Amino acid sequence: MAYQRLQPTRSLAVIPEDGLLLPGGPGSRLDFGAVDGVLAGYLVNTATTISFNQIITAGDTVYNLVTGEGARVTGVEETQLRLSKDIFTAVGEFYIVGSVVKGGGATIWSGSGGVISGKTAGGDDITLTNVPAGTMLPILMSVINQTGTTATNMYAFW
């Protein structure tokens, strides 16, 4: 049975990335900080107060908040995360890393409107055209693709 999600309790700016699951959702973990070392294909933060391997798992999603890129965590060490692609190239770039809730999804608010391409929480590919600016989509989305998406200023709500 469908239901409306009128009272979200968490939100996160969406960085569209082909096939990358949205981080966050009920029961998820979110961590943030700034990289303090550069190693190709890794997020390096030796100043983290909690070891990554205590809170992050392979499959989680990382956003580089400076460049607007995302990647999947493929390996976890104490102060480094191995990533599916190289998205950190300078010391001081801010990141957010979040766990991915299997089968979960978020409602999406579109700030600019346009086209939104991605996957529903059920795994169906979908392309929504002519989405008006300032619209909250009543569809649970698990992926927002970069390819085919023209909408900007999007937020995920849970």
Sorted by where each begins, the domain ranges of the chain are 11-20+102-157, 30-98
Query: pTM of this prediction?
Result: 0.87
**CB-based contact 150:113 (threshold 8 Å):** no
Across the chain, mean pLDDT equals 91
CA separation (Å) from 122 to 11, 36, 49, 103, 141?
Answer: 20, 38, 36, 7, 8
Q: Is the pLDDT confidence value at 135 over 80?
A: yes
Determine the CATH number of domain 30-98.
2.40.30
DSSP line for 98-145:
E-B-TT--EEEEESS-EEEEEEETTS-EEEEEEEPTTEEEEEEEEEE-
Q: What are the tens digits of pLDDT across the range 70-99?
A: 999 999 999 999 999 999 999 999 999 988
